[in-house]
Amino acid sequence: MIDIEKIRKDFPILNEKVYGKSLVYLDNGATTQKPQQVIDAICECYAHYNSNIHRGVHFLSNKATDIHEKSRETIREFINADSSEELIFTAGTTESINLLAYSWGDFCVEEGDEILVSEMEHHSNLVPWQLLCERKGAKFKYIPFDDNGVLSSDFDSLINEKTKLVCVNHVSNALGTINPIKDIIEKAHAKGVKVLVDAAQSIQHIKVDVKDLDCDFLVFSGHKIYGPTGTGILYGKKDLLNAMSPWQSGGEMIETVSLDKTTFNVLPFKFEAGTPNYVGNIALGRAIEYVNEIGIDNIEKYEADLLKYAHEKLSSIPSLKIYGNAENKASLISFLIEGTHPYDIGTLLDRMGIAVRTGTHCAETVMQHFDIPGTIRASFAIYNTKKDIDDLYEGLLKITKMLGL
Ligand X SMILES: Cc1ncc(COP(=O)(O)O)c(C=O)c1O
Among 98, 173, 334, 375, interactor with ligand X by CB under 6 A? 173
The string of DSSP letters for 168-233 reads EESB-TTT-BB--HHHHHHHHHHTT-EEEEE-TTTTTTS---HHHHT-SEEEEEGGGTT--TT-EE
Please enumerate in sequence order all residues whose Cβ is within 8 A of that of 403, keeping only pairs 6 or more positions apart, or say none: 337, 339, 340, 344
For residues 158 and 153, give the distance between their C-alpha atoms in angstroms, rounded to a whole number.
Answer: 11
Interacting residues with other proteins (CB under 8 A): 19, 53-57, 59, 61-62, 65-66, 69, 252, 340-344, 347-348, 350-351, 358-359, 373-374, 398, 402-403
Contact flag: residue 334 with ligand X (CB under 6 A): no
**Piece in contact with ligand X (CB under 6 A), picked from 99-107, 198-206, 289-297, 322-330:** 198-206
* Per-residue mark of binding to ligand X, 359-398 (x: CB under 6 A): ---x------------------------------------
Q: How far is the CB of 278 from a copy of itself (least distance, A)?
A: 6
- Under rule CB under 8 A, residue 34 binds a copy of itself: yes
Between 148 and 275, whose beta carbon lies closer to a copy of itself? Answer: 275
Which residues belong to the active site?
Answer: 362
Q: Closest CB to a copy of itself among 122 and 313?
A: 122
- Residue number, 53 or 299, with CB nearest to ligand X: 53
Distance CA 106, CA 89 (A): 21
The crossing angle, in degrees rounded to 10, of helices 278-294 and 296-315 is 80
Q: Tell me: cis bond preceding 268? Omega within 30 of 0 counts.
A: yes
How far apart (Å, rounded) are the C-alpha atoms in residues 382 and 72? 23
Compute how many other C-beta atoms are within 10 angstroms of the C-beta atom of residue 390: 14
What x/- string results for residues 2 through 41 when contact with ligand X is judged by CB under 6 A? ----------------------------------------
Pick 98 or 400: Cβ nearer a copy of itself: 98
Q: Is 201 in the site for a copy of itself (CB under 8 A)?
A: no
Euclidean distance between CA atoms 232 and 285, whole angstroms: 11
3-state class of 29 per DSSP?
coil
What whole-number distance in Å separates Cα of residue 77 and Cα of residue 282?
Answer: 15
Least gap, CB of 178 to a copy of itself (angstroms):
22
Q: What's the closest the beta carbon of residue 395 comes to other proteins, in angstroms?
A: 11
Tell which one of 163, 169, 281, 331 touches ligand X (CB under 6 A): 169
97 membership: H or E segment, kind and range: helix 93-99
Cα end-to-end span (Å), the chain: 41
Q: Which residues bind ligand X (CB under 6 A)?
A: 92-94, 122, 124-125, 169, 173, 198, 200-201, 221, 251, 274-275, 362
